[in-house]
Amino acid sequence: MKKVILGFLSACALVMFISCGSKPVEEETKPQAPVEEQIEETVEEVVDNTATLALIDGARDLAIKAGAEEKAADLLKAIDDNYNKLKADGGVITAEDSAELVAKYQALASYIKASEAKQEIDDNGYASYSQKNYDSGVEALAKVEEAFKNGDPATTFVGESEAAYANFTAVLNVAYKKLAKEEREAAYQAKKQADSVKAGVSRAE
């Protein structure tokens, strides 16, 4: 019995010794990776309207050559104000805005030339040489004037402006040809008369 108790006490002492003498296993802590700070870079978008501006400027030059600065200064200023505003905004000039500006300058150029042609026809009484063309030109020109007055999109009436100029030009061409023919005929008759008189004088001699 004593041996059993002694053995039990010895086992307990051994367990206590092992428990006190062993060190707890430290848990390995992995270092956290440094968090990289993400810096957003602001990239400024470069807007290139070079080709668009060249197209619009070309149409404007045609209006200037047609005499817009002297003969339609108010209309030219209204279009220029819109154009300058788009350029000042600094953004991309859309295809729609570009087409509208080009059409406005083209319509203005044709309108001025059509008005001048009509004035020449009226001053010289040429309308009857091609009355149908003249009437068509007058009708188209009236539509253009009304459209400019109402501020309608130029893409809807630039065709009318060009048609007005084309019709008045046709009247002038017909008039010039007929006048040239009449002048040639008059010159021929004058020469014929002169030759007849000359022949009569020769016979009298």
pLDDT band at 29 (very low <50, low <70, confident <90, very high): low
Instruction: Inform me whether the pLDDT recorded for 166 exceeds 70.
Output: yes
CB 109 within 8 A of CB 68: yes
Mean pLDDT value across residues 77-81: 97
Distance from C-alpha of 22 to C-alpha of 192, rounded to nearest angstrom: 147
Instruction: Write the single-letter amino acid at 58.
Output: G
CB 141 within 8 A of CB 114: yes
Instruction: Say which range, 12-21, 68-77, 180-189, 192-201, has the weakest mean pLDDT.
Output: 12-21
Instruction: Inform me whether the pLDDT recorded for 172 exceeds 90.
Output: yes
Mean pLDDT value across residues 33-46: 54
